Structure 1
Amino acid sequence: MNNNRIQLLLQFIEEQPEDPFNVYALAMEYRDEQPDQALLYLKQLLAEHPTYLATYYHAASLLAEQGDRSGAEEIYERGIELAKAQKNEKAVQELSRAYRTFQDDDDY
């Protein structure tokens, strides 16, 4: 986790609150070392920028890691539907593959 980058991203968010990328980048900074903080930012994106497709993969993955299986399933499904609506076949494939892996993990 890079504190300088975090401070810079917080500044960018303050200057451009309508730009979802800055919040997404901030969530990714927290992803490995402070997943709870990352999830807060990802949930913020889901609420404030529901069409920002990149959010769905990471939000669902974090929810699954934290044991929120129903939350993860909902986010995977919403992300797949959004990717289809946006005609983003690569994202449909990536989210679908991650969702199948998630479902397979539940079978054990």
Structure 2
Amino acid sequence: MTMDRLARLLEFLQNEPNDPFLKYALATEYVRLNQTEEALKYYLDLVDKHTDYIGTYYHLGKLYEQLNKQDDAIKTYEQGIEVGKRIKDQHALSELLGAYNSLRDEMEDW
């Protein structure tokens, strides 16, 4: 079932190669499949080409945490916080601040 979903998303992306939702869906699907390199590729493309796609920053940060790349996670959260402020998305901003503060607290405890 999951591979079918992945194949469909890839097919949709061929028809709409600049659709940020499809890129985000693919990144999320690759995380579920534990294919982190592919997930990173799509998340980083979103950060580069669709900077206002705010959900990317939280999930990319969490992926970096999973990969024990805490410094990259912090930078990603900081970047997302700036975007959240600029586009005035209070919900996303709140989630990003929570993730950022939680990780900072963990890092201080090390």
The TM-score normalised by the length of structure 1 is 0.92
Contiguous gaps of at least 5 residues in structure 2? none
Q: In the alignment, which residue of structure 2 is the partner of 1:82?
A: 83
| Alpha-carbon distance in 1 for matches of 2:96, 2:85 | 11
Higher helix share: 2
User: How far apart in 2 are the matches of 1:99 and 1:64?
Assistant: 11
The number of residue pairs the alignment matches comes to 108
What is the CA-CA distance between 1:107 and the residue it aligns to? 1.8
Q: Secondary structure at the match of 1:31?
A: helix
TM-score for the superposition, normalised by structure 2: 0.91
Tell me the C-alpha RMSD between the 2 structures.
1.3
Q: Give the residue type in structure 2 aligned to 1:52.
A: Y
Structure 2 Cα separation of the partners of residues 88 and 18 of structure 1:
23
**Aligned match of 1:60:** 61
Identity of aligned residues (%): 38
Matches within 5 A, 1:45-56: 45-56=46-57
Kindly provide the amino acid, as one letter, of the partner of residue 44 in structure 2. Answer: K
State how far apart, in whole Å, the 2-side matches of 1:83 and 1:37 are.
25
